[in-house]
Amino acid sequence: MKNEQMVRQRLLTAALDLFVRKGYAATTVREIVAAAGVSKPTLYYYFTNKEGIYLEMMTRTFALFQGIVDQISDSHGPARERIIHFATMIFDSVLENIEVVRLIYAIFFGPPQGTPHFPHDHYFTTMLAVIANMAQEGMDAGEFRKVEVDDVAWTIVSSMNTIMEEQICHVPPRADRARLMSMLNLYLDGIAVGKRT
Amino acid sequence: MKNEQMVRQRLLTAALDLFVRKGYAATTVREIVAAAGVSKPTLYYYFTNKEGIYLEMMTRTFALFQGIVDQISDSHGPARERIIHFATMIFDSVLENIEVVRLIYAIFFGPPQGTPHFPHDHYFTTMLAVIANMAQEGMDAGEFRKVEVDDVAWTIVSSMNTIMEEQICHVPPRADRARLMSMLNLYLDGIAVGKRT
């Protein structure tokens, strides 16, 4: 059982590396098994085919994200702290899974690569909804001014999105976790009730 | 002469459509000339090869962008109005050139596609510098509070970037020009001196 998990993980790691370096379309099953040091039937046994590896990768990654969303949805406290906490957790998770994030962006923005359908847009849609929800709670609680909640959600998700993109596109990134926190804190100061420095 | 320009434009249009639909790597010179209704030697005469068409496309697009930057750099007036004006012009230019913007994102985020080098990152770097400059002028003029200028530049460029991405990724876009203006106005309210609603 332990061995099974190791073999699965070796195949996933090898495939991810190839998908990122060469592109999904250009990667063959032969290259994946060679890099993982296993036989073709082993790959077929665990994942059926290249599509199966890709979908497992995407499903696992989305589950990690969903775990963060569930955690924040169950949390209590000031909206400001919860928003900052959510953004921090997402950012840290992106850094920990930077190669799969790179692949998701390549699939999402790149040319058609023959990948099976996966609803990558759910990340963005869910983040918008989570932030909008917290922003609305902050307004209802008198923590934020009564402003257009969609403006708040889009601006915060835009900052998260762009700073994540910077981690995959620029070496070294010109904006990091500290910059994102500083951007969000300044933004939340701007919509806070009464606060002004 | 007029005819020359028309032929060049037909080749550029046909190539852009193919690069976006099939990807740059998968597009052949044969497909481009067939779509443009010209002969292979005509393409070679005007652009040398596929790389030449791509580079001309990229150079023209960057020149449009640089034109907007020059226009805003020569402008005067309140920083707030200039920032909004810049974002509007960039957004409108993106909509007018949506297919080439789609290609740039596909090249920038996508898997290696064998394109000749073009410094796509200059768009982002230039936008950051232009916004930071206007934000600093706004602070010096007492229009904005003295906050961290890089936070302001990154947040505004993040909003512009993400709303542009929405135009190429989501049909219909869930956030449009009006949303971007509303996001930026709310943000600029938040850093304005004295203003509070």
From the candidates A158, A171, A176, A187, which should be mutated to test the interface with B, based on the most B CB atoms within 10 A?
A: A158
B85 within a domain of the structure (yes/no): yes
d(CA A169, CA A160): 14
Same domain, yes or no: B61 and B120: yes
Cβ of B13 under 8 Å from any chain A Cβ?
Answer: no
Same domain, yes or no: A43 and A136: no
B63 within a domain of the structure (yes/no): yes
A97 within a domain of the structure (yes/no): yes
Same domain, yes or no: A65 and A19: no
Same domain, yes or no: B117 and B157: yes
Paired tokens of B155: 């947040």
How many domains does one find in chain A? 2
- Does the distance separating the beta carbons of A110 and B110 come in below 8 Å? yes
Structure confidence by residue, pLDDT tens digits, A30-71: 999 999 999 999 999 999 999 999 999 999 999 999 999 999
Same domain, yes or no: B90 and B25: no
Interface of A with B in 94-113 (CB under 8 A): 105-106, 108-113
Structure confidence by residue, pLDDT tens digits, A1-28: 578 999 999 999 999 999 999 999 999 9
Nearest residue of chain A to residue B27 (CA atoms): A111
A197 within a domain of the structure (yes/no): no
B196 within a domain of the structure (yes/no): no
Paired tokens of A73: 């949805």
Going A40 to A41 to A42 to A45, the CA torsion angle's sign is: positive
**CATH number, domain at B31?**
1.10.10.60
- Does the distance separating the beta carbons of B21 and A187 come in below 8 Å? no
Same domain, yes or no: A90 and A64: yes
Structure confidence by residue, pLDDT tens digits, B59-82: 999 999 999 999 999 899 999 999
Domain encompassing residue B68: 56-191
Q: The complex's ipTM?
A: 0.94
Same domain, yes or no: B118 and B134: yes
Same domain, yes or no: B170 and B125: yes
A34 three-class SS: helix
Residue type at A47? F
Residue type at B164? M
Residue A178 binned pLDDT confidence (cut-offs 50, 70, 90): very high
Query: pTM of this prediction?
Result: 0.95
Instruction: Give yes or no for a contact between B154 and A187, defined as CB atoms under 8 angstroms apart.
Output: no
d(CA B89, CA B93): 6
B105 within a domain of the structure (yes/no): yes
Left (φ > 0), alpha (ψ -120 to 50) or beta: where does B175 sit? beta
- The C-alpha angle with vertex B132 and arms to A164 and B93, in degrees rounded to 5, equals 75
Q: Is A106 exposed, middle or buried (0-12, 13-18, 19+ CB in 10 A)?
A: buried
B39 within a domain of the structure (yes/no): yes
Instruction: Give yes or no for a contact between A11 and A34, defined as CB atoms under 8 angstroms apart.
Output: no
Interface of B with A in 112-131 (CB under 8 A): 112-113, 121
- Does the distance separating the beta carbons of A159 and B158 come in below 8 Å? yes
